[in-house]
Amino acid sequence: MRKLLKRKSKKTTKSRPYFSHPENHEPVSTNMEENKRFVEEQLFHTSDLFHKELTFNGKKILLLYLRTLVDQEKLQNFVIRPINRTKAGELSETINSSEVINTSDLNEAIVGLMKGHCILISENSETIYIVSVIANKYRNIDQPVSEQIIRGSHEGFIESMLVNLYLIRKRVENRNLTIKYFTLGKATQTKVALVYVNNLANPEIIKEVEKRLNAIDTDSIQSPGFIEEYIEDSPYSPFPQLLNTERPDRTGGHLLEGRFAIVMEGSPTVLIAPITLFAFYQSPDDYNSRWYIGSFFRTVRLASFLISMGLPAIYISIVSFHFEVIPIDLIFQIKNSLENVPFPPLFEAIMMVIILELLREASIRLPPSIAQTIGVVGGLVIGTAVVEASLVSNTMIIVIALTAISSFVVPSNEMSTTIRLLSFPLMIGAATLGFFGIIFFLTLILMHLCKLKSFGTPYFAPFAPFNPEGIKDTFIRLPIWKMNKRPLDSRPQHLNRERFSRKWKKNDKETE
């Protein structure tokens, strides 16, 4: 009995792999029915596999396609009607499509079927024609919901990689713009494009990202987040090391600074690297408005980094250890608000932060019409109830509200989440050692930022290492004509991007 079970288990291990695209070559038979049978068996007689017999030049032709993936109108106009109308000539010349591939491999033909192509199998022939009749069922180009701006382009990426590459090429009309395709995932065969400007991007960085993409050996790639985790330098770091964006203008700007972008089929999110911490606080609005207005709002965003991460910890340290740092009148007010609260400030803060995260998560998952009601009414009702029940002080409600508003200011959702998570160790340090605990954890975070790299580029540039030229576009944004060099953090091949575009003013003074 044991021998019989062992034999059965061996047989099951030798079953056909579930990978969608086998690598072995399967030659085309001259028998059309055998080819048809092989395709049907490989696709497990799926119900959406359709076939149609045609006649061309006195020979039978078998048309195979997956009904769920092809455009019926294209199929009729490009393939069926031309073949029915033409009685002689070459089959490849009869088809009204610019994308016609001939192959002698049945597995390659099946791959074409799964990508939305149709295949033509001719009688007594060892050649199969693959014709592109893909159904382009995508949503319209619209403004990204998570990266809205006041002034500038309102275009956003969609779930089609070809459309996204078109939007990038429209932004960067440069002959040096290079696109390289990769196929990731043995089961999903996800198409990925690496985009960069050839004479700007550092060749060493491009070789490194190609090496990391080629090293990905997995069954499935479902989203850009999968790729991000596979290729980032420090996978255990809380800080994102690739910038996620859905904006073509933002992507084009980074490409012209010498960075690269990764575009994935089926996702509107594009990954950009190498990147620094300050890039997550930059917005297209900074460059679409006056330089001092953009500088002001960028400073506000960077201030929100410290507020959202450190304000609850500072409040906890003050009410627990350092009452002497605030005015005497304010001390009495805070003491009165804390009088009937049975919990320590740390428990208050953690409880309110968790409630806030629950409300945020609920508003994301629910339909938009209900989400707004939950966010407003839920916040008011819960906030009022916990204060009236003396579970949380009034001052703590104000602190948590300011913290939440500050976290919403960050243009990047990934960085916003990171900051909210980093507030927890700071609160624990404040409850344990007061200001010394905050300083201790801030020092650890600063050391980590100085050590962190994105594809070999210092994450905390231009401050570590220090580069005075790079400060022109970090805390503030100087006028465009003052930022005449590209950032050093991307290590571009050409640093100069602007010579002196306001020389007309100098010429006017000389004529006077």
pLDDT 10s digits, 345-368:
999 999 999 988 888 888 888 887
Burial 226-253 (b: 16+ CB within 10 A, else e): bbbebbbbeeebebbbbbbbbbbbbbbb
Residue 247, pLDDT > 90, answer: yes
Nearby residues of 424 by Cβ (< 8 Å), 6 or more positions away: 350, 353
Residue 10, pLDDT > 80, answer: no
Asked if 403 and 355 count as a contact pair (C-beta separation under 8 A), the reply is: no
Q: How confident is the model at residue 8 (pLDDT cuts 50, 70, 90)?
A: very low
φ and ψ at residue 324, rounded to 5 degrees:
-70, -15
pLDDT digits (tens, 9 = 90+) for 67-79: 999 999 999 999 9
Asked if 498 and 483 count as a contact pair (C-beta separation under 8 A), the reply is: yes
Question: In whole angstroms, what is the distance from residue 64 CA to residue 42 CA?
Answer: 13
**DSSP alpha helix (H) spans, 215-344:** 224-231, 248-255, 284-288, 291-320, 328-338
* pLDDT for the residue 65: 96
Question: In whole angstroms, what is the distance from residue 206 CA to residue 196 CA?
Answer: 8
Residue 269 tokens read as 């999110």
Nearby residues of 105 by Cβ (< 8 Å), 6 or more positions away: 25, 26, 27, 28
* pLDDT for the residue 63: 96
> What's the pTM value of the predicted model, to 2 decimals?
0.87
Q: How confident is the model at residue 506 (pLDDT cuts 50, 70, 90)?
A: low
Handedness of CA 149, 150, 153, 155 (dihedral sign): positive
Each as own residue / partner, the long-range contacts of residues 314-318 (CB below 8 Å, 24 or more positions apart, any chain) are: 314/430, 314/438, 315/345, 315/349, 315/395, 315/396, 315/399, 316/345, 316/346, 316/349, 316/427, 316/430, 316/431, 317/430, 317/431, 317/434, 317/435, 317/437, 317/438
Each as own residue / partner, the long-range contacts of residues 15-23 (CB below 8 Å, 24 or more positions apart, any chain) are: 18/187, 19/186, 19/187, 19/219, 20/111, 20/114, 20/186, 20/187, 20/188, 20/189, 21/107, 21/110, 21/111, 21/114, 21/186, 21/189, 22/107
DSSP 8-class letter at 496 = B
Domain segments of the chain: what residues?
17-132, 161-275, 287-458
* pLDDT for the residue 50: 95
- Is the N-terminal amide bond of 274 cis, ω within 30° of 0? yes
Nearby residues of 76 by Cβ (< 8 Å), 6 or more positions away: none
Residue 235 tokens read as 């996978």
* pLDDT for the residue 403: 92
Question: In whole angstroms, what is the distance from residue 129 CA to residue 122 CA?
Answer: 9
Nearby residues of 275 by Cβ (< 8 Å), 6 or more positions away: 241, 242, 243, 259, 454, 457, 459
Closest CA to 90 of 62, 117, 122, 65: 122
206: left (phi over 0), alpha (psi -120 to 50) or beta: alpha
**Which residue has tokens 């990038």?**
168
Angle between helix 291-320 and helix 394-409 axes, rounded to 10 deg: 150
**Which residue has tokens 């803060």?**
349
Question: In whole angstroms, what is the distance from residue 62 CA to residue 30 CA?
Answer: 12
Q: How confident is the model at residue 15 (pLDDT cuts 50, 70, 90)?
A: very low
Asked if 239 and 450 count as a contact pair (C-beta separation under 8 A), the reply is: no
Residue 235, pLDDT > 90, answer: yes
Q: How confident is the model at residue 23 (pLDDT cuts 50, 70, 90)?
A: low
Closest CA to 423 of 330, 304, 335, 320: 304
Question: What are the Cα distances from residue 138, in Å, to 36, 111, 148?
Answer: 31, 21, 21
* pLDDT for the residue 510: 56
Question: In whole angstroms, what is the distance from residue 183 CA to residue 206 CA?
Answer: 17
Calculate ∠ Cα 168-171-174, nearest 5°.
Answer: 90
* pLDDT for the residue 360: 86
More confident: 389 or 13: 389
**Which residue has tokens 């859905």?**
246
Beta strands at 100-103 and 59-66: parallel, antiparallel or unpaired: unpaired
Structure-derived torsion over alpha carbons of residues 201, 207, 210, 212, reported in degrees to the nearest 10: -120
Residue 90 tokens read as 């070459």
Asked if 41 and 210 count as a contact pair (C-beta separation under 8 A), the reply is: no
